[in-house]
């Protein structure tokens, strides 16, 4: 099983513990896209962390979600929004069927899409001038002492790029400046040449997790899911020990970094 297919094992934990996105983000995207009543398509909708925000603003959304367990939670979370439809399967396998959409968005899922085909697939899905919105929610630890102690736990257990792997101060003020972590799509989109009006927006807010919720968050991440169960339990126990020794939780700076572009 690949890392992109492990989330369904803990779909309920994922839904309860994973952070969402800045309240203003969905409105920003819809104002930019101006879909004019056209349906949007969401790539890798998960349990609906972003979907609900768009649906609450009146957007109709076709949600593409490959994991049936995640899709089950997604259907429950969006059941009160008749404009939301869920399609099972991967974005690469999905066919628009002659339809064209005014907006395509992906919430912390773009990096799972085939890098060779993804911009072609976006173009095939959108009307001329249609918008693409890609966004992520990285976090940084506010207390440097907690960061240092957790970094030692990660080093000891061979964990790479956990949510607490960087202090909040390392992110700077520029959207996509993810403390030396790759994945921001602007340069790739610019090289493609078929998109225009590229924009980047950052939202920032403080986020507190108590120990239990933070462990649930970590347990929902692919880099922890793929560990052997006994090793995963040890690293989570050691992480809990650090958090309990520093007041029973962790304070983070939570970013919502948004990339926007439209087809020429």
pTM for this structure? 0.89
**Residue in 164, 190, 165, 186 with CA at minimum distance from that of residue 177:** 186
User: How much is the mean pLDDT over the chain?
Assistant: 92
Per-residue pLDDT of the chain (264 residues; tens, 9 = 90+): 444 455 556 788 878 888 899 999 999 999 999 988 899 999 999 999 999 999 999 999 999 999 999 999 999 999 999 999 999 999 999 998 889 999 999 999 999 999 999 999 999 999 999 999 999 999 999 999 999 999 999 999 999 889 999 999 998 888 988 756 678 999 999 999 999 999 999 999 999 999 999 999 898 888 898 899 999 999 999 999 999 999 999 999 999 999 999 999
142, 235 Cβ separation under 8 angstroms: no
Q: What is the pLDDT of residues 59-114, one digit of tens each?
A: 999 999 999 999 999 999 999 999 999 999 999 999 988 899 999 999 999 999 99
Q: Which uninterrupted H or E stretch holds 50?
A: none
The per-residue pLDDT for 149 is 98
CATH for 3-263? 3.40.50.150
The confidence score (pLDDT) of residue 14 equals 78
Residue-range domain boundaries for the chain: 3-263
State the Cα–Cα distance between residues 183 and 178, nearest whole angstrom. Answer: 9
Residue 104 and residue 50 in contact, taking contact as beta carbons nearer than 8 Å:
no
A 10 A CB-CB count for 190 gives 12
Give the pLDDT of residue 1.
43
Q: What tens digit of pLDDT does each residue of 242-261 get? A: 999 999 999 999 999 999 99
8 Å CB contact between 218 and 238: no
Indicate the pairing of strand 126-136 with strand 139-141: unpaired
């Amino acid at each position: 099983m690949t890392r992109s297919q492990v989330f369904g094992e803990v779909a309920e934990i994922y839904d309860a513990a994973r952070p969402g996105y800045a309240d203003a983000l969905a409105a920003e995207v819809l104002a930019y896209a101006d879909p004019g009543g056209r349906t949007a398509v969401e790539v890798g909708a998960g349990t609906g962390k972003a979907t609900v925000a768009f649906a609450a603003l009146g957007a109709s959304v076709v949600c593409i979600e490959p994991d049936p367990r995640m899709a089950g939670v997604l259907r429950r979370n969006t059941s009160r929004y008749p404009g939301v439809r869920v399609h099972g399967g991967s974005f690469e396998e999905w066919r628009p069927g002659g339809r064209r959409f005014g907006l395509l968005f992906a919430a912390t899922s773009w990096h799972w899409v085939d890098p060779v085909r993804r911009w072609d697939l976006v173009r095939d899905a959108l009307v001329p001038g249609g918008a693409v919105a890609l966004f992520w929610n990285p976090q940084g630890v506010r207390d440097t002492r907690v960061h240092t102690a957790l970094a030692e736990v990660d080093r000891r257990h061979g964990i790479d790029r956990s949510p607490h792997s960087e202090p909040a101060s390392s992110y700077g003020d520029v959207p996509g400046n993810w403390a030396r972590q790759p994945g921001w799509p602007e340069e790739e989109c610019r090289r493609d040449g078929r998109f225009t009006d590229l924009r980047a927006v950052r939202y920032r807010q403080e986020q507190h997790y108590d120990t239990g919720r933070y462990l649930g968050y970590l347990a929902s991440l692919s880099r922890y899911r793929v560990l052997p169960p006994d090793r995963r339990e040890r690293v989570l126990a050691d992480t809990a020990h650090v958090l309990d020794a520093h007041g029973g939780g962790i304070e983070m700076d939570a970013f919502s970094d948004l990339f926007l572009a439209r087809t020429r």
